[in-house]
A = this chain, B = another copy of it.
Amino acid sequence: MSIENIIPEKTIERLSEYRRVLLRLKDNGHTHLFSHTLAAKLGITAVQVRRDLMLIGFSSDTKRGYEIENLIDFIGKVLDDDNIINVGVVGMGKLGQAITRYFSGKRSKLKIVCAFDSDPRKIDAVLDDIKCYDVNTLEQTIKEQSVRMLILCLPSSEARRLMPSIINSGVRGVLNFTSAYLNFPPEIYVEDYDIITLLEKVAYFVKNSKD
């Protein structure tokens, strides 16, 4: 397994943001926009926008700017899979439930197909049409349901305990909401998303701001 011709992570993030802006503009009846307009809406430079779009091979009619609908399709070809990606949520506590609900219906190409928990009261329950499985069946259930991506919302110590099952399950991507550093092998892409760290960061800048 190898990752080839990969676009830098930061560019991928920005492409996702570009698309969000473009979809909104399209909904409002716009058909074209210039790189500097897109840049201003995201607080970055026009050079950055042009560099990112050059990287994915998109070129524009410079007189009227980028054609919005074209660019949306183009970004979609880079970001989206032709097939739906099945997603599993591990840990159906408050955060897991909120993410599941927040998520449902938001992205047609990503689909939460199952959830996991260790609490007997949650196992076999159905939340927003998603069935919750015993976390001890994780490896098997992921294989059966062809899950390719996991969202981890369980306690850090639990996440560490589950690592071997996650690795063996064959998933390829993990969005890690726990505060644990999970040292997965390189074939599993991990994005850490720790709320407490960011809260402490904002708090640091708040306490150092002077009125």
- By size class, the interface of chain A is 35 or more
Query: How distant is the Cα of A183 from the Cα of B107 in the complex, in angstroms?
Result: 26
Q: Contact between B211 and A1 (Cβ–Cβ < 8 Å)? A: yes
Q: Contact between B207 and A85 (Cβ–Cβ < 8 Å)? A: yes
Please tell me how many copies of the chain the complex holds: 2
State which of A62-70, A118-126, A188-196 sits at the interface with chain B.
A188-196
Q: Contact between A42 and B181 (Cβ–Cβ < 8 Å)? A: yes
Q: Contact between B149 and A210 (Cβ–Cβ < 8 Å)? A: no
Best-surrounded residue of A43, A79, A198, A205 (most CB of chain B within 10 A)? A205
Residues of A that sit less than 8 Å from B by CB: 1-7, 9, 12-13, 16-17, 20, 41-43, 78-81, 85, 94-95, 97-99, 101-103, 106-107, 109-110, 148-149, 170, 172-175, 179, 181, 183, 187, 189, 191, 193-211
